[in-house]
Structure 1
Amino acid sequence: MTKKAIITIHLVGMLLITLMFLVDFSSNVRGENYIGALANEGISLYRQRRYPEAKIALEKAILIKKEPNLYYLLGNTYYMLGELEKSEDTYREALKIDPNYMPALQNLGRLLYKEKKYNESIAVFDRVLAKDPEDIKAIRFQAGSYHGMGNMPKAIEKFEQIHRLNPEDSETIKILARLYKSSGDYSKAIVFYQKLLALEPNQAGHYLSLARAYVK
């Protein structure tokens, strides 16, 4: 084989490799664009509250590319359609990819609370609080879960934690006053009714509640 023939074969080989690379690159770009278009369509439809159509677009997108944010959006869509079991499963899929994906953790915890799966909800919000110990919403859901399970001491403990983080939240103070009163701890109930009156002195009902706590 002549030197010229060898050079020609080499050049043809390089050209074929280049063409294969360009085809593969072009295919990847088209694929990424297609996924992006599906995701954007799903987001747009979700914002327009066209949930059945958003569901179709997002389901197609995650078949091609499994990303936590896509699973999260699809989980939200299932929730809005009342498909709670699918919503829960989809949030869990997002967390398999990224165990610390906070939006999915928070919504999974809320969904479990709504379904009265209180122990599971508490466990999920423990993971949220491991990242942000002062997340009041997470603590509030845990407090509600303990209350739903009838565990008043733990519910009080969590509401006390919220009160320390936000001392002027009148709703939390009111809840603590009632919880202490229903638990028979009238001295603590009085303390919180007094705090409530200091914040809302024009609410006549607070004076009546305080008086009743004293009578007991």
Structure 2
Amino acid sequence: MPPRFRIFITLLLLTFCTLHAKSDATRIEFYYGIAEGNYLIGDLKGAANGVEQMLKIDADYVPALTLKTRIKIDQGEPQVALESADHAISLEPEILEHLLLKALVLGNMNRRDDAIAVIEQVMQAAPIDGDDYRVASKLLGLLLMAEGDWDNAAETFNQIYLDNPETAAISLELASEAYLEKAGNALNQGDTSAAVDAITQALEVHQQQLGEISFKQRTALRMMRA
């Protein structure tokens, strides 16, 4: 074959590969838009179908893997969700959001000790004033509440507020909720004194806070304690 023909064929193949890659990228973006839209409106089956189409094109497409994880959590398939989260972590181990997603899956599997270990890993790696740290702290608090460790849960939520006052409203609300859960548990066990003490703890969360929301919370909690 003459050299000029070999060069021509090589250039033609390179052009074809480039166009094919662009075509695949466009198709993936198209499927992702559909899958994410379906997920947001609650069409989990449609979202799952879109994700599978993406992964057929590129099995290592991380946005599809993380979306698949969320879908499978909602569909009650935690083992599949965990495998998808682990796959995303293996591809982008430096992205802490993937670890938080894995912790969420583990929490849904009632593997709370494992979930807490992953969250603590994130908190050690993340900047204390960053979004990953705040999300990890909130998730840790919620898991502690699920474990019935209300005091540590409330302390975790309080610490979020101390680290970043901008999150005061949600952090204080969650801390108060932890103590109210503690009070409810005490009442279920017939321990009225412990329930009153827990409500007092919830009241103290809002005691030094200004604003209408905290005022209403203090009023409601005082009425409950009475």
Partner of 1:6: none
Give % identity. Answer: 15
User: How much does 1:86 deviate?
Assistant: 1.3
Alignment of 1:33-48 (within 5 A): 33-48=23-38
Give the deviation of 1:23 after TM superposition. 1.4
- Partners of 1:28 and 1:152 lie apart in 2 by 57
| Superposed displacement of residue 90, structure 1 | 0.6
> 1:39, 1:58 within 8 Å by CA — same for their partners in 2?
no
Tell me if structure 1 keeps the 8 A contact 2:72–2:78.
yes
2:204 counterpart letter in structure 1: V
**Corresponding residue for 2:174?**
172
- Structure 2 counterparts to residues 97-176 of structure 1, below 5 A: 97-129=91-123, 130-134=125-129, 135-152=133-150, 154-164=152-162, 165-166=164-165, 167-169=168-170, 170-175=172-177
In 2: Cα distance, 1:185 partner to 1:47 partner: 43
- Residue identity in the other structure for 1:131: A
Matched, 1:92 2:105: no
Kindly state the Cα deviation for residue 158 of structure 1 after the two structures are TM-superposed.
1.4
- 1:62 paired to 2:55: yes
Q: Which one-letter code corresponds to 1:61 in the other structure?
A: M
Residue number in structure 1 paired with 2:222: 207
Answer yes or no: is the 8 Å Cα contact 1:193–1:206 preserved in 2: no
Q: What is the aligned residue count?
A: 201
SS state at 1:133 partner: coil
User: Offset of 1:37 from its aligned partner?
Assistant: 0.5
TM-score normalised by length of structure 1: 0.71
After TM superposition, the score normalised by the length of structure 2 is 0.68
- Radius of gyration: which is bigger? 1
Gaps of 5+ in 1: 1-8, 212-216
Deviations 1:10-43 (A, max 9, x none): xx22431331232143134214412430342243
Q: What SS does structure 2 have at the residue aligned with 1:107? A: helix
Gaps of 5+ in 2: 184-193
SS of aligned partner of 2:81: helix
Q: 1:100 to 1:172 in 2, by over 3 A?
A: same
Which residue in 2 is equivalent to 1:194?
A: 207
Q: Distance in 2 between matches of 1:161 and 1:200?
A: 18
User: How many Å separate the matches in 1 of 2:29 and 2:68?
Assistant: 10
Match of residue 191 from structure 2: none
